[in-house]
C-alpha cells in the first residue's frame, strides 16, 4: 500500500526533525546578490525559477508540471519542476548548501524553524488573493504576526463508513452518529470477530480529533494546554473503547494505516482525510462507503486539518516572478484543476462552491474547515508530537493524565 500524499507529508515532518541540525542552522544568504529589489521588497531578475515538490504520484507530478509550464509560457519566465524523493531532506540540503529552490512545498510544522533562521521570504501580505484563503489556513502559516506563505491546498478528517457493512448490521442513515455516545453505540454494533467497529492510527494526528471535540488542544495562543481536563476526557473516552475492542488501532489489525484497515474490511469505520478517496479508488474500487462529519464531543464539533504552503526562498534572486507563479498556482481555476487531477481541496474560499458541486459526497471534508484545529507549528513541536504518539500506542493500558503531563512538560520546554 502506498501511503497517501497528505499522510506522507505528516510523516515527513518527523524526517525533517532527523535532519534538523542541518536544516535549522542553514543561513539565508547563499546567493551572490546580482538581482534588484522592487518597491515591495522582492528581488527581481531574469533568472529562471526552480520549483521543488513532493508528489503523491504521476497525476500530481503531471498536473503541477503542466501548470508551471503554462505559466512559464504566459509570463516568459523559464521555470522547471523537480520532484523530490525525500522532500524534507532535499529542502534542508538546499538551504544548507546556499542553493535552495526558489519555490517549494513546505509543511506547517517545518515553517517555524525555517522562518526563524531567515531561510524563508515572508510574502503572504504581497499576495493579491491573500483575503481569499481560509482564515484558519492563513493562521497555520503565520509566524509572529507575519503571513509567511500561501496555503497550496488542505485536508480535514471525517468519519468514513463502509456502507455495505452498515446496512448488513441493520443501520440506516438515521443512525449515522452525531455525538460520542452514538459513535460508541454503532461501533459496538459493527464490531465482530476479526473486525473492529472503528479503526484509526495510533497518533495525535487522528486521536487529536477527540481532543478538539472535547474542547481541548495542545497549544492555545502560544501557551501549552496539553494537560487540560478536556484532553484527559478525550483520551479516557478513546482508551475505554480501545480496551473494549470496539475501537482499534490500525496497526493492531495488521494494517499500515486507517485506510488500509478500512479497505480490507478489518474495520467498518475509520477516521481519515480526503486523500483516502484516491487510495480506495485505486486499491479497493468496489468498496461502497459514505463520508460523514465526525461526531461532536462534549464541546461540539471538532476535527484536525493538514496543509502545506508554497514556500519561497529568502535567497531567491527572482522573488517577483516567484510571487506571480504562486498567485497563478493558487488561483480559483488552477486549484480546481489540481483538485480534479489528484484530489486536494482548494485552499481558497472562491473555489468552495464549485468544489462542493463537483464533489457532493465529500462535502463533510470541506465543512470541517469551519471548526478545524491544527497541530502546533512552533519549532520543536514535531518532536513533541512524535513522543506523544509513542505514548499513545499503549493508551488503553496507560493513564491519560500521566501521558498528557509529559506532553505538557515537553511543550513548555519548547515554548519557553
289 neighbors 359 (Cβ within 8 angstroms): no
Label residue 6 by pLDDT band (50, 70, 90).
very low
Question: If DSSP codes are grouped into helix, strand and coil, which group holds residue 328?
Answer: helix
Q: What is the pLDDT of residues 101-113, one digit of tens each?
A: 999 999 998 999 9
Q: What is the pLDDT of residue 11?
A: 35
Residues 120, 108: Cα–Cα separation, whole Å: 13
Cell, residue 341: 487531477
Residues 58, 89: Cα–Cα separation, whole Å: 21
Residues 28, 115: Cα–Cα separation, whole Å: 10
Residue in the block written with cell 454494533: 189
The structural domains of the chain, ordered by start, are: 5-155+305-373 (3.40.190.10), 157-303+377-415 (3.40.190.10)
Per the DSSP assignment, residues forming a β-bridge with 36 are 44
Per the DSSP assignment, residues forming a β-bridge with 79 are 49
Which of 394-402's residues contact partners 24+ apart within 8 Å by CB, and which partners?
395/202, 395/207, 395/235, 395/238, 395/239, 395/242, 396/239, 396/242, 396/243, 397/243, 398/239, 400/231, 400/232, 400/235, 400/236, 400/239, 401/227, 401/232
- Terminal-to-terminal C-alpha distance of the chain: 41
Question: If DSSP codes are grouped into helix, strand and coil, which group holds residue 315?
Answer: coil
Mean pLDDT taken over the chain: 90
Label residue 21 by pLDDT band (50, 70, 90).
very low
134 neighbors 151 (Cβ within 8 angstroms): yes
Label residue 343 by pLDDT band (50, 70, 90).
confident
> What torsion, rounded to 10 degrees, do the Cα atoms 368, 369, 375, 377 define?
180
Residue in the block written with cell 508540471: 65
Residues 186, 179: Cα–Cα separation, whole Å: 11
Residues 139, 151: Cα–Cα separation, whole Å: 10
What does each C-alpha distance from 207 to 48, 116, 253, 375 come to in angstroms?
44, 29, 17, 12
Find the mean pLDDT for residues 382-394: 96
Label residue 40 by pLDDT band (50, 70, 90).
low
Q: What is the pLDDT of residue 228?
A: 98
Q: What is the pLDDT of residues 123-145, one digit of tens each?
A: 999 999 999 999 999 999 999 89
Q: What is the pLDDT of residue 402?
A: 98
Amino acid at each position: 500500500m502506498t501511503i497517501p500524499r497528505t499522510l506522507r507529508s505528516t510523516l515527513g515532518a518527523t524526517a525533517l526533525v532527523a535532519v534538523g541540525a542541518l536544516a535549522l542552522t542553514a543561513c539565508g544568504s547563499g546567493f551572490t546578490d546580482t538581482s534588484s529589489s522592487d518597491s515591495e521588497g522582492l528581488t527581481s531578475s531574469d533568472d529562471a525559477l526552480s520549483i521543488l515538490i513532493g508528489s503523491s504520484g504521476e497525476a500530481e507530478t503531471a498536473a503541477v508540471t503542466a501548470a508551471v509550464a503554462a505559466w512559464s509560457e504566459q509570463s516568459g519566465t523559464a521555470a522547471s519542476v523537480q520532484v523530490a524523493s525525500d522532500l524534507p531532506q532535499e529542502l534542508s540540503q538546499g538551504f544548507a548548501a546556499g542553493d535552495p529552490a526558489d519555490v517549494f512545498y513546505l509543511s506547517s510544522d517545518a515553517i517555524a524553524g525555517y522562518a526563524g533562521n531567515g531561510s524563508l521570504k515572508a510574502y503572504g501580505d504581497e499576495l493579491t488573493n491573500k483575503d481569499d484563503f481560509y482564515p484558519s489556513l492563513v493562521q497555520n502559516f503565520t509566524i509572529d504576526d507575519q503571513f509567511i506563505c500561501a496555503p497550496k491546498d488542505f485536508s480535514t478528517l471525517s468519519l468514513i463508513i463502509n456502507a455495505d457493512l452498515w446496512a448488513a448490521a441493520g443501520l440506516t442513515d438515521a443512525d449515522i452518529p452525531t455525538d460520542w455516545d452514538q459513535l460508541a453505540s454503532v461501533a459496538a454494533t459493527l464490531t465482530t470477530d476479526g473486525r473492529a467497529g472503528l479503526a484509526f492510527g495510533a497518533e495525535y494526528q487522528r486521536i487529536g480529533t477527540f481532543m478538539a471535540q472535547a474542547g481541548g488542544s495542545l497549544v492555545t495562543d502560544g501557551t501549552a494546554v496539553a494537560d487540560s481536563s478536556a484532553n484527559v476526557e478525550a483520551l479516557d473516552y478513546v482508551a475505554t473503547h480501545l480496551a473494549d475492542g470496539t475501537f482499534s488501532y490500525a496497526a493492531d489489525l495488521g494494517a499500515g494505516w486507517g485506510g488500509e484497515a478500512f479497505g480490507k474490511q478489518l474495520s467498518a469505520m475509520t477516521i481519515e482525510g480526503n486523500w483516502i478517496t484516491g487510495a480506495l479508488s485505486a486499491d479497493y474500487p468496489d468498496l461502497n462507503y459514505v463520508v460523514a462529519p465526525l461526531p461532536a464531543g462534549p464541546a461540539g464539533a471538532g476535527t484536525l486539518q493538514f496543509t502545506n504552503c508554497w514556500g519561497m526562498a529568502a535567497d531567491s534572486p527572482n522573488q517577483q516572478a516567484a510571487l506571480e507563479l504562486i498567485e497563478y498556482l493558487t488561483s480559483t481555476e488552477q486549484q480546481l484543476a489540481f483538485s480534479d487531477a489528484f484530489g486536494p481541496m482548494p485552499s481558497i474560499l472562491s473555489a468552495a462552491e464549485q468544489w462542493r458541486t463537483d464533489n457532493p459526497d465529500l462535502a463533510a471534508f470541506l465543512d470541517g474547515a469551519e471548526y478545524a484545529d491544527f497541530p502546533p507549528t512552533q519549532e520543536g513541536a514535531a518532536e513533541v508530537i512524535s513522543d506523544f504518539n509513542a505514548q499513545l500506542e499503549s493508551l488503553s493500558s496507560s493513564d491519560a493524565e500521566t501521558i498528557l503531563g509529559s506532553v505538557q512538560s515537553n511543550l513548555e520546554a519548547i515554548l519557553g
